[in-house]
Amino acid sequence: MNKYYTTIGLEIHAELKTKTKMFCACINNPDEKNPNTNICPVCMAHPGTLPVVNKKAVENVVKVGLALDANIADFTEFDRKNYFYPDIPKGYQISQYKYPIVSGGHLADFDVTRVHLEEDTANNKHDRGDYSLIDFNRAGVPLMELVTEPHTFASSEEASAKATFFAKELQLLLWYLGVSEANMEKGEMRVEANISVSSDKEKFGTKVEVKNLNSFRSVERAIKYETDRMIKILEEGKGEGIVQETRGWDENKQLTFSQRKKETSQDYRYFPDPDIPKFNLHKLFNMEEIHKSLPELPAQKRARYKKDFDLKDEDVETFINDMELAEWFQSVVVILNDVEKIKIAVNYITSDLLGLKKNNADVKYPNVKNFAELIEMVFQNQISSRVAKDLLIRITKDDMSPKEIAEKEDLLQKNDTDALTKIAQDIIEKNPKVVEDYKNGKENALMSLVGQIMKETKGSANPSVAKEILSNLLK
C-alpha cells in the first residue's frame, strides 16, 4: 500500500452573541424555546423591508480578525447568495463573497483564508411526518464563517487530531473574545471538513466536504472514516474513483454518506446587495483601540503559564479551558506572587478543589484571600496536608480565615517535641498489642501508631516528627 497524505481545509460557522439580529432589531436569543417569537417583517422577508447592518456583529468579526493576526479589509460589502429553500425566505442569504471583513491570519496548524459575516437561516422541523414546521427565531442571527487554507498532514491520525484541535482552539478564542458561546451541541458552532488524500505530498487529491459535524468527536471520527474510505477507493483503483461531493456524517452509524454532488459558486449567482451600503472598516472603527482592548488570548495565556509557573501541560490546559477558574486563579497568583507557592496552589486546585467541584456542582471557589492564606500556611509548614485539605473544604463553604480556624481549633502543625512525646507515650500505653508487634519486627505497626497520634491531634502533628519520637521511645 502507498503512503497517503491527508489534506484538510475547514469551514467553521459560529453564531455571534449579540443583543439583536444581523439586519433587524429582533432579539438574538439562542435559548428561546417558543418558536417564532423573535421575528419581524425583516427577518421574515416581507416585501418592502430593508436590512440595517448590526455594527456590533461587524466589530466582533473584526476582533476575531485581529486575534488571528489577519488583515482587516478597508472595503467590505454584503452579497446576496441565491438559493431556494424554505429556511431562507428571501430566496437568498445575505453573506459576503468578494470582500470579506477578514482575510489571512493563522491559528494552530492552519492558515486562515478568510472570515466573513452572514445571516443564519431559520430552523426546519422535519420530525412531524407528512408536514414540516419552520421556526424563524434563528433566521437572521449573525453568523461568522471562517475558512482555512488546505493543510497537508503526514497521516490521517495527525490530520484528524490537528483539525479537531483547531476547532477547539477557535472555540476557546471565541469564548475569550466574548463574541460567541460556540456551543457545538446547541449548533452555535458548526464544523465542515474538506478532506482529500494523495500519495503525492505536492499534489492535492479530489476533495470531499463533510457536513453535520456537531461535536469535536465527530470531527475527529469523520476525518478518519473519510480518509480510510478514500484510500480504499484509490487502492482498489476501480470505478470512477473519488467523486467531489458533499457528504453528511451519520452520528448513529458513525459513517459518511453522499448528500449531493457539490454545487459551484456560480450556482449561487452572488451579487452585491443593493440594499446595504458598502463601507470602509478602518473609518468605521478605531483598529488600534479595538486591538488594545483584546483580552489575553488562549495561546498567550498558555505560553505565560508555561514560562512563569513551569506547570505540567495537562494542568495548563485545565486552566486555559476554564475561564472562570483562570480568572480566579489569576487573583490567587497576584497575592501569592512566588513560583513555589503558586505550584503548591496549583496542586491543591487540580487535585483537591476541582475534585470537590466535580463531585458537587454547588462547591464554589473560595475567597481568594482565604485560599492564598491557606497556601501560605502549607508553604510555611504550619499545617499538615490533611489539615489543609479539611480547611480547603471549609473555606469553600464559608468566607473564613483558615488561619483563624487553625488557631482556634488547635490545628497548627505540632512540631513541639515535648507535647508530641507526651501524646506518643499515651498512645504507646493504650496500644500494647501494636507495640509488641512492632518490637517483634513488624515495621508497619509503627505507622499505625503514627496514625493514632495524627487522629489524637486532629491531623495537626507533623507525621515525620511523630514517627521519630515513637521509634526513639520504642528503642
Q: Is 11 in the site for ligand ADP (CB under 6 A)?
A: yes
For the chain, give me the number of helices (H) and strands (E)? 17, 18
CB of 137 to Zn ion, least distance (A): 10
Q: Is 454 in the site for ligand ADP (CB under 6 A)?
A: no
Q: Is 245 in the site for ligand ADP (CB under 6 A)?
A: no
Judged by CB under 6 A, the stretch of 66-74, 131-139, 194-202, 336-344 that binds ligand ADP is: 194-202
Residue bearing cell 501560605? 376
101 vs 65: CA distance, rounded Å: 8
CB of 283 to Zn ion, least distance (A): 27
70 vs 287: CA distance, rounded Å: 12
Contact string 43-72 vs Zn ion (x = CB under 5 A): x-----------------------------
Q: Is 195 in the site for ligand ADP (CB under 6 A)?
A: yes
User: Do residues 96 and 79 make contact, with C-beta atoms less than 8 angstroms apart?
Assistant: yes
Alpha-carbon distance values, 395 to 160, 282, 349, 374, 385 (Å): 43, 50, 13, 9, 15
388 vs 211: CA distance, rounded Å: 51
324 vs 306: CA distance, rounded Å: 19
268 binds, among Zn ion, ligand ADP, none (CB under 5 to 8 A by kind): none
Q: Which is nearer to ligand ADP, 117 or 374 (CB)?
A: 117
11 binds, among ligand ADP, Zn ion, none (CB under 5 to 8 A by kind): ligand ADP
Q: Which is nearer to ligand ADP, 9 or 51 (CB)?
A: 9
CB of 273 to ligand ADP, least distance (A): 21
- Beta strand 79-82 with 151-153 is unpaired
Q: Which of 147, 316, 450, 453 binds ligand ADP (CB under 6 A)?
A: 147
Position with the least CB separation from ligand ADP? 9
Q: Which is nearer to ligand ADP, 164 or 413 (CB)?
A: 164
Q: CA angle at residue 460 from 456 to 463, to 5 degrees?
A: 85
Give the interface size with ligand ADP as a residue count (CB under 6 A).
16
- Beta strand 271-272 with 79-82 is antiparallel
Q: Is 96 in the site for ligand ADP (CB under 6 A)?
A: no
Q: Which is nearer to Zn ion, 59 or 119 (CB)?
A: 119
Phi–psi pair at 442, nearest 5 degrees = -85, 95
Q: Is 149 in the site for ligand ADP (CB under 6 A)?
A: yes
The sign of the dihedral angle between the CA atoms of 406, 410, 414, 416 is positive
Q: Is 148 in the site for ligand ADP (CB under 6 A)?
A: yes
Residue bearing cell 480556624? 405
Alpha-carbon distance values, 249 to 71, 243, 252, 299 (Å): 33, 16, 9, 31
Judged by CB under 6 A, the stretch of 19-27, 87-95, 189-197, 349-357 that binds ligand ADP is: 189-197
Q: Which is nearer to ligand ADP, 162 or 207 (CB)?
A: 207
Q: Which is nearer to ligand ADP, 114 or 414 (CB)?
A: 114
26 binds, among ligand ADP, Zn ion, none (CB under 5 to 8 A by kind): Zn ion
Q: Which of 9, 65, 140, 402 binds ligand ADP (CB under 6 A)?
A: 9
Phi-psi region for residue 91, left (φ > 0), alpha (ψ -120 to 50) or beta?
A: left
For 390, residues 6+ apart whose C-beta sits below 8 A from its C-beta are: 411, 459
Contact string 2-31 vs Zn ion (x = CB under 5 A): ----------------------x-x-----
Judged by CB under 6 A, the stretch of 9-17, 246-254, 419-427, 457-465 that binds ligand ADP is: 9-17
336 binds, among Zn ion, ligand ADP, none (CB under 5 to 8 A by kind): none
> How far from chain centre, in Å, is Cα 436?
58
Q: Is 139 in the site for Zn ion (CB under 5 A)?
A: no
Phi-psi region for residue 249, left (φ > 0), alpha (ψ -120 to 50) or beta?
A: beta
40 binds, among Zn ion, ligand ADP, none (CB under 5 to 8 A by kind): Zn ion
End-to-end CA distance of the chain: 72
Phi-psi region for residue 325, left (φ > 0), alpha (ψ -120 to 50) or beta?
A: alpha
Residue bearing cell 417569537? 37
Q: Is 146 in the site for Zn ion (CB under 5 A)?
A: no
Q: Is 40 in the site for Zn ion (CB under 5 A)?
A: yes
User: Do residues 162 and 168 make contact, with C-beta atoms less than 8 angstroms apart?
Assistant: no
Residues between 261 and 300 with contacts to ligand ADP, criterion CB under 6 A: 262, 265
CB of 21 to Zn ion, least distance (A): 5
Q: Is 150 in the site for ligand ADP (CB under 6 A)?
A: yes
> How far from chain centre, in Å, is Cα 325?
13
Task: Name the residue among 11, 321, 58, 17 with its Cα closest to residue 190.
Answer: 11
Judged by CB under 6 A, the stretch of 32-40, 192-200, 447-455, 464-472 that binds ligand ADP is: 192-200
Q: Which is nearer to ligand ADP, 116 or 221 (CB)?
A: 116
Cell numbers at 168, concatenated: 477547539
108 vs 146: CA distance, rounded Å: 14
Which residues of the chain form contacts with Zn ion (CB under 5 A)?
24, 26, 40, 42-43
| Residues that bind ligand ADP in the complex, under the rule CB under 6 A | 7-11, 147-150, 194-196, 204, 207, 262, 265
